Chain A
Amino acid sequence: MNRYRITFTRNRTVRFVGHLDLAKTWERILRRADLPVAYSQGFHPLPKITFASALPVGCTSECELMDAVLSEPMDPSDVMAPLVPALPAGIAVTSVTQVPLNAPALQAELRWAEYVVTVETDEAPEQIEQKMQAFLAAPTLPRERRGKSYDLRPLVLSLSAEAVHDSSVQIVMRLLADANAGTGRPDEVLAALGWGDAPVQIHRRKLGFET
């Protein structure tokens, strides 16, 4: 058994494909690529693929990570080559590396995710800056999601405006993405900033792991 780590991007076309559907999509990509994917044992054998983190629906990304276990040893470039023509237009593979079979699961090592968000707004730069400061200064930010209340503040590691244009602002937020400590959602942060209904584009640009 051999484990490979695949980095891939997701563009606008596939931004509404949910996590389970993405997993199904990957199963089919691997079948088209005719790679010797290992399957789990049992009545319902499933291909051994795992993802670092579900991408929130509606977002694009340049840093998605998954591990796939293959039953035969292969050079990473030979894993990558057949994948390329098997990918739908909205997904691209940027790298394949081999990792030890017994390396910790991606999910267990993940700590944070960084998002770049473009919000369409005509608010003044000072106003935006003030909003962010107030957000960061708040000791708690109680919110409710799907009927459950929780504190959003500890899930936000950093928040800043990267570029302010006439009718839009680019925000960078680093959110906790930790199997034990919790996972922050960019749309929740936007809602807390009063941009719940504003047209936005959310892009995940980096995942942070325990080193």
Chain B
Amino acid sequence: MTIERELDRILPKVEKPARYTGGEYNSVVKDWDATPFRAVLAFPDIYELGMSNLGLAILYDILNRRPDVLAERVYTPWPDMEARLRAAGVPLYSLETKHPLSDFDLIGFSLPYEQVYTNVLTMLDLGGVPLLASERDERHPIVIAGGHATYNPDPMADFVDAFVIGEGEEVIVEIVEVIRKVKCQIPNTQLQRSAVIRQLAEIPGVYVPRFYDVAYNADGTLARVTPNVEGIPARVTKRIVPILPPPVTRFIVPFVDVTHNRAVVEIQRGCTRGCRFCHAGMVTRPVRERSVEEILAAVDEMVRETGFEEVALLSLSSSDYTHIGDLVQAISQRYGDKRLSISLPSLRIESFSIGLAETLKNGRQTGFTFAPEAATETMRRRINKFIPDQQLLDTAHEVFSRGWRTIKLYFMIGHPDETLEDVQAIADLANAVLKEGRKVHGKAAQVNIGCATFVPKPHTPFQWTSLDSEESIRAKQSLLKQALRKPGLKLSWTEPEHTLLEAFLSRGDRRLGHVILRAWQLGAKLDGWSEHFNIGAWRQAFAEHGLDPEFYTRRSRAKDEVLPWDHIDVAVRKNYLWQDYVMSQQGETRTDCREHCFACGILPTFNSVRMNLPAEAWECPPIPLSHVTKEG
């Protein structure tokens, strides 16, 4: 109650105080004293972003369904709120029951991208939890983390007791069980804490960094990462759910506007396209679809349970969902006149997509988004995303003809071996698309070009490649800015310093823990927000620790180099990735692996899981069993 009292003084003085009060419809407030296990799910960025994160919504639902467990939420406060909390000596608290983070048994961080790392430190610090895992004792919660960024966990190893590698739906429950069991068996001492952490390490898919020693070569590269206690696996294999569990429908309904103010249903998980730059596409295999019936029932329930006016059908590549036509037909029949807007992101560049969008159209949709990613044949082959110009232009023409006035195009610069000619082609293509628009809408046609800079990611075929040089990035960006300065075109891009931060954190090793801590001490926070971005703090932190960001970013790795994430097994084999990398350099592409299995490694790794499933449960094509062999 003292927190509540202090909040009465603090909240009137901060921006958007409704972010810090909770009480939203479908939030779950349980009896603190009567619930034996208490977890807080932490999103290390602001409320508006965290409320749009599906992963945490799923875990919140799973944990709160259990009568003996409560799960609450916490987000990163904006700096004005942080300053007020610090000044008043109020710890960072959970939204549901306003308990300090330090009062919970478990803190679970979602780390979807690297720019949130310093916010984890802010939240632990404000929440009264020691930053370093090594400094926590039996009085402190167990701190775990999961999410896409944790497929390379070691940069955050100093701050996290245990990482969840892979999908969390099953493993979160196993983690809660282990902590509860040990706490019942052993009195509350340091012994209890070490027993908990030791037993967490035995759960498949859980990576406990303290049980691994990292050795380095003289040149700074990794020599090896090895377990330092008996019975710990040399590599931690990611967890998957064999079949997608029933989708969450009781989403929390925010009072304030948030980034994605809507309900979502994941229609499929994984992607078979094999784009070589795409981290999500590699780490979320195999592809599992939900049935049309299940999706429809879920949408029905979401509308009833949340009242949201928008539902998004989520996947990495909607067009690849087997029954997409049927699904869209059925949804529009059911909701066509019900004032429900359905968004269907990630559509392929083809006329079929326009039909889909048109069926779902309800007057509010203003634009159409496509992601060609590259504009020349060489680059498209290199990244294994191949859409001929004519197909894009034809599709664009049709989009404009059917009434849309705006097209958004996503490209990336900085693909391996990209030249200025490849970048000029992006500008030419954008201009050509605008020309199609002008034929139909005249000056009202608009083409927005989002041009991010490619960052090589772990567990992808480009994990060995160098980030483009800063000089080259700037040259390419200035070319685009020149060539796209024209009414009807709008360019957005990523500042090279932001790219640099993402790049060194993405492929960093355990030594980056010192850098992250130091940068945070020097004031780095909310690194994803340009108004708070502070590359100076990071450069100084690197220098103080005798490390060089360029080592992590602008360096090609040799085939046999030990990579900082080699002890994390996403079931896509390193050999496969290397082969794909070589193919990229030779301009060879791979087709959609729904049609033909390229033996990425998923099937042998999860052979025993697959054996017990109906053949159609995964979108992997049937292969002769003799080809399924266990290999590393």
Contact = CB atoms under 8 A, between A and B. Distances in A.
Does chain A bind chain B? Answer: yes
Interface of A: 13-18, 21-22, 24-25, 27-32, 34, 39, 43-45, 57-58, 86-90, 199, 201
Given A16-B11, A21-B257, A58-B12, A32 B307 contact: yes
Interface string B16-57: 111001111100010000000000000000000000000000
Nearest to A58: B12
Contacts of A90: 23
Contacts of A17: 18, 255-256
Nearest to A187: B12
A57 B256 CA distance: 13
Interface residues of B, number: 27
B258 to A, nearest CB: 11
A202 B29 CA distance: 25
B8 A199 contact: yes
Nearest to B303: A31
B407 interface: no
B339 interface: yes
Nearest to B363: A43
Question: Which of B8, B25, B29, B363 is the most central at the interface, judged by chain A CB atoms within 10 Å of its CB?
Answer: B25
A45 B364 CA distance: 10
Contacts of A32: 25, 304-307
B308 A28 contact: yes
Given A13-B21, A88-B23, A28 B306 contact: yes
Given A21-B256, A39-B339, A28 B25 contact: yes
B18 A201 contact: no
Contacts of A57: 17
A44 B365 CA distance: 11
Interface string B267-292: 00000000000000000000000000
B11 A86 contact: no
B309 interface: yes
B9 interface: yes
B257 to A, nearest CB: 7
- For the complex, would chain B's binding face be called helix, strand, loop or mixed by DSSP majority? loop
A18 B15 CA distance: 12
A89 B21 CA distance: 12
Interface in B66-80: none
Nearest to B25: A88
Contacts of B256: 17-18, 21
A27 B310 CA distance: 13
Contacts of B16: 16
A31 B339 CA distance: 10
A42 to B, nearest CB: 9
B365 to A, nearest CB: 12
Interface of B: 8-9, 11-12, 16-18, 21-25, 29, 253, 255-257, 303-309, 339, 363-364
Contacts of A22: 255
Contacts of A89: 23, 29
27 contacts: A13-B21, A13-B22, A14-B18, A15-B21, A16-B11, A16-B21, A17-B18, A17-B255, A18-B256, A21-B255, A21-B256, A24-B257, A28-B306, A29-B307, A31-B307, A31-B309, A32-B25, A32-B304, A32-B306, A32-B307, A44-B364, A57-B17, A58-B11, A58-B17, A88-B23, A88-B255, A89-B23
B307 A28 contact: yes
Contacts of B253: 25, 28, 88
Contact of B255 (A14, A30, A58, A201): A14
Contacts of A24: 255, 257
**Would you list the 4 A-B pairs with minimal beta carbon distance, nearest first?**
A28-B307, A13-B23, A31-B307, A32-B307
A16 B21 CA distance: 8
Contacts of B18: 14, 16-18, 21
B20 to A, nearest CB: 8
B366 to A, nearest CB: 11
B307 A88 contact: no
Contacts of B21: 13-16
A2 B608 CA distance: 62
Contacts of A27: 307, 309
Given A29-B307, A31-B308, 15 more contacts: A13-B21, A13-B22, A14-B23, A16-B17, A18-B18, A18-B256, A21-B255, A22-B255, A28-B25, A28-B308, A32-B25, A44-B363, A58-B12, A87-B25, A89-B23
Given A31-B307, A34-B304, A199 B9 contact: yes
A56 B256 CA distance: 16
Contacts of A15: 21
Question: Which of B8, B18, B307 is the most central at the interface, judged by chain A CB atoms within 10 Å of its CB?
Answer: B307
Contacts of B8: 199, 201
A197 B545 CA distance: 46
Contacts of A21: 18, 255-257
Nearest to B253: A28
A31 B25 CA distance: 13
Given A21-B256, A29-B307, A45 B23 contact: no
B515 to A, nearest CB: 38
A30 B307 contact: yes
Contacts of B363: 43-44
A45 B309 CA distance: 12
Nearest to B12: A58
A190 B308 CA distance: 38
Nearest to A11: B23
B87 to A, nearest CB: 14
Question: Which of B255, B304, B364 is the most central at the interface, judged by chain A CB atoms within 10 Å of its CB?
Answer: B255
B520 to A, nearest CB: 29
Contacts of A43: 363
A101 B629 CA distance: 74
A25 B303 CA distance: 14
A27 B303 CA distance: 12
Contacts of B303: 31
A173 to B, nearest CB: 18
A43 B362 CA distance: 9
A58 B14 CA distance: 12
A107 to B, nearest CB: 23
Given A21-B256, A28-B306, A88 B24 contact: yes
A53 B211 CA distance: 61
B16 to A, nearest CB: 8
Nearest to B22: A13
B88 to A, nearest CB: 12
A84 B138 CA distance: 44
A117 to B, nearest CB: 13
A87 B25 CA distance: 7
Contacts of A30: 307
Contacts of A45: 339
B354 to A, nearest CB: 21
A36 B294 CA distance: 27
Nearest to B24: A88
A13 B364 CA distance: 32
B100 to A, nearest CB: 19
B323 to A, nearest CB: 27
A108 to B, nearest CB: 28
